[in-house]
Structure 1
Amino acid sequence: MLDKPIDYKTWILVADGEKALFLQNMGDGELPNFEIRRVEEQDNPPDREQGANRPGRMSDAGTSHHSAVEDTDWHELGKERFAAEITGILYKMAHRGVFEKIVVVAPPKILGEMRQHYHKEVADRVVGEIAKDFTNHPVDKIEKLLAA
């Protein structure tokens, strides 16, 4: 996971495309004690509930054939937007000096999306990244997984 223990007062962001937990380690590297500081959630129904129209069709040039056009995946788009919103929250928090160090834990796709939106002020404070989805684990389980 991480190559070194999570220090005292280091923040931990555990996020996916619909939920974000902002935790702070109030213990030390050997005996972590994560406390929840903030929770953000997004209501993002499945794509089938968000799409209103049938997928489009397009005429192929010069023939009577029609090709299907891939429909927008609104659910996936919502996850990407949520990742960008979370990085905006991180920027505001970093700018106010709320945290000096942060570890970011998110599924690979969300982590990649977040990296694209990191402000330099946030990127300079990221001391570790883990490409895993821990959002549905209780806090004590997250402590154990990150301490291992």
Structure 2
Amino acid sequence: MGGMSDTRTRMIPHGGYVVVCDGRKALVLRNVSVHPKPDLQVQLAFEAPPNPPTHAQGTDRPPRVRLGDQRSAIAQTDWHDLAERRFAKAVAHALDAFDPVTALIVVAPPKTLAEMRRALPERLRRVVVAEVDKDLTKHPVEEIERCLANA
């Protein structure tokens, strides 16, 4: 699986899917063009529910544990990491519903890219033709097409 230097991102196969996500938003696009210039059509767009700051979701101070005469703090749960992991699983599940997926390009910032890698079922991992470590979720589809065509 390559990064930005991977030449396979230059041509998104006809019927190939592109998922653009950032841990909170996801866009599933499909290339309907038979020409080298992609024509990405939105298949699905969704956003994670609001995720308040960690301090608003749990206790401000981590609980303490006493073992004999030693005291230790228990690490506080990172609710944002947990939410991003759940979101990646939801995106992967939604992608798995599209059939057939013969080519998939995943576009996400590095941390989300890693979460997506873990969340994708084996059948989708096998069809990933490229990974692009960029955050393009706030870009219009035309800009996403341009970024992928010039990658």
TM-score bracket, shorter-length normalisation = 0.7 to 0.9
Q: Select which of 100, 108, 112 maps to 2:110.
A: 108
Deviations along 1:17-66, one digit per CA (max 9) or x if unpaired, are 11110101122453211111111211132324642322224256454x75
User: Any gaps of 5 or more consecutive residues in structure 1?
Assistant: none
Deviation at 1:117, TM superposition (A): 2.3
**CA RMSD, aligned part only?**
2.1
Deviations along 1:53-96, one digit per CA (max 9) or x if unpaired, are 22224256454x75444321212211111001111222222xx4
Bigger relative CO (Cα 8 Å, ≥ 6 apart): 2
Structure 1 contact 55–69 (Cα < 8 Å) conserved: no
TM-score, length-scaled by structure 2: 0.82
Q: Which amino acid aligns with 1:35?
A: Q
Runs of 4+ that moved beyond 6 A: none
Deviation at 1:16, TM superposition (A): 1.3
Q: Counterparts of 1:22-41 in structure 2 under 5 Å?
A: 22-28=28-34, 30-41=36-47
Structure 2 contact 62–73 (Cα < 8 Å) conserved: yes
Deviations along 1:84-111, one digit per CA (max 9) or x if unpaired, are 1111222222xx42x2211111111111
Is residue 7 of structure 2 the alignment partner of residue 3 of structure 1? yes
